[in-house]
Amino acid sequence: MLETTIENAGWTAVTVVPVETRTQWRAFHHLPYLLYKDDPNWVAPLLLERKMHFDKSHNPFFQHAKAAFWLAYRDGVPVGRITAQIDELHLAQHNDATGHFGFIEAIDNSAVFEALLDTAESWLQSQGMRRCVGPVSFSLWDEPGLLVEGFNRPPSVLMGHALPYYQKHIAASGYTKAQDLLAYDYENGLPLQPTMEQIIARAQKRHQFRFRHIRMDSKNFKAEIALLLDIVNDAWSDNWGFVTMTQAEVDDMASMFKILLRPDSVVIAEYEGEAVAFELTLPNINEAIRDLGGRLLPFGIIKVLWRLKISGVSTVRMPLMGVRRKWQNTHIGAALALSMIQHARINAWKHGGKRAELSWILESNERLRHMLTLVGGTVYKRYRIYEKAL
């Protein structure tokens, strides 16, 4: 059993222990509620969903990865938590001996952060890793990065939140910036500039793109989701840190998305008989669950369904958009991307979605960032992924 104890002047020792018992797991999941109780912008996650996310028999991530989990205690009271994970698919694709840490939460004390990170690093080293990257919870497909800018607004669906002091303690433990992920705010009622609309119109006239919505019927839905992920796996394959999604992960995502999606939430572009691009927009479920305290029972589930299906939410998020690689860096690719944003804007506005978050966008993706600026998007949150040599 890996256990770490760190002394700090004027402090009782901080002890880090593996999460093994039911009591420890309860403390692990409830710690954020204590840390964020005075933060008006934190949205409590649904506890049932979080528990399933950590269930190795339920989350398909664990079919190709292993992880360890720890709690930090002081005077018998939980004061921090962390995970460390090794993704065999990441290692196979990148061959970089890199492991990850994630789900880090702690009180404002350097000794607690140091103890948690030291423990995660020691475990990764014992597994042969030479580099630690994070926070990644559990993968880039989940909630990557630490919020370092934009604490004044709640996070959107499937995006994280943090307390401002986290970044200084992680940096003090020897971590440096590996990559920043940006979240853009976009007003759906804002029309595209005339030059942007002209680009779309000229491309449509010349190339005759066909746009359609996703088929939601039980016979076709999984195949449609697989098609979207096939485009993503192609479009994003050269992106920093990218790891191909497995079929089991595709199926799991399809099950989750089916609850949230309307047919016009997904627009697929076809060109010369091939699906070449798509965009997926989700209603911001965080807006619907914000006052539930993480609990669906007894009446929470009714409130969520009412807010999503009847009264609607005023914000949406576009978490996925892709154009196949062979069309990237071409005028066709630019027109397709602009068309995706235009379709998403119109469809969201039709259902009451006044504002959209377009995220996450790699800071290094200058081409897409320039396009988002041209259509009126502004960076309003920044998430940082750190790295450290072991």
Co-location of 173 and 148 in the same domain: yes
The span from the CA of 333 to the CA of 260, in Å, is: 28
Alpha carbons 214 and 224: distance in angstroms, whole number: 7
**pLDDT at res. 316:** 87
61 and 127 housed in the same domain? yes
Residue 5 binned pLDDT confidence (cut-offs 50, 70, 90): low
Whether 162 maps to a domain, the answer reads yes
Hey, is 11 helix, strand or coil? strand
Does the residue 389 lie in any domain?
A: no
Residue 97 domain flag: yes
CATH of the domain at 38: 3.40.630.30
390: in domain: no
**Which residue, among 148, 174, 168, 163, has the nearest Cα to 385 in the 3D structure?**
148
Q: For residue 27, is it within any domain?
A: yes
277 and 252 in a single domain? The answer is yes
Asked if residue 209 and residue 159 are part of one domain, the reply reads no
- Distance between CA 50 and CA 77 in Å, rounded? 22
Residues 201 and 295 both lie in one domain: yes
How does DSSP assign 86-137, residue by residue?
A: EEHHHHHHH-S-EEEEEEEEE-S-HHHHHHHHHHHHHHHHHTT--EEEE-EE
CB atoms within 10 A of CB 193: 12
pLDDT band at 99 (very low <50, low <70, confident <90, very high): very high
Q: Do 152 and 199 share a domain, yes or no? A: no
Residue 349 lies in a domain: yes
Any domain includes 370:
yes
Domain count, the chain: 2
Residue 64: give the domain boundaries.
4-180
pLDDT, tens only, 304-353: 554 455 456 788 898 889 999 999 988 888 888 888 888 888 888 877 87
Q: Same domain, yes or no, for 101 and 189?
A: no
| pLDDT over 50 (residue 298) | no
**Neighbouring C-alpha atoms within 13 Å toward the C-beta of 369:** 13
Instruction: Clarify whether residues 212 and 360 are in a common domain.
Output: yes
- One domain, residues 10 and 142: yes
CB 99 within 8 A of CB 132: yes
pLDDT digit string (tens) for 216-255?
887 888 888 888 888 989 999 888 999 988 888 888 887 7
Which residue did the predictor score with more confidence, 352 or 135? 135
Residue 116: its pLDDT value, please?
98
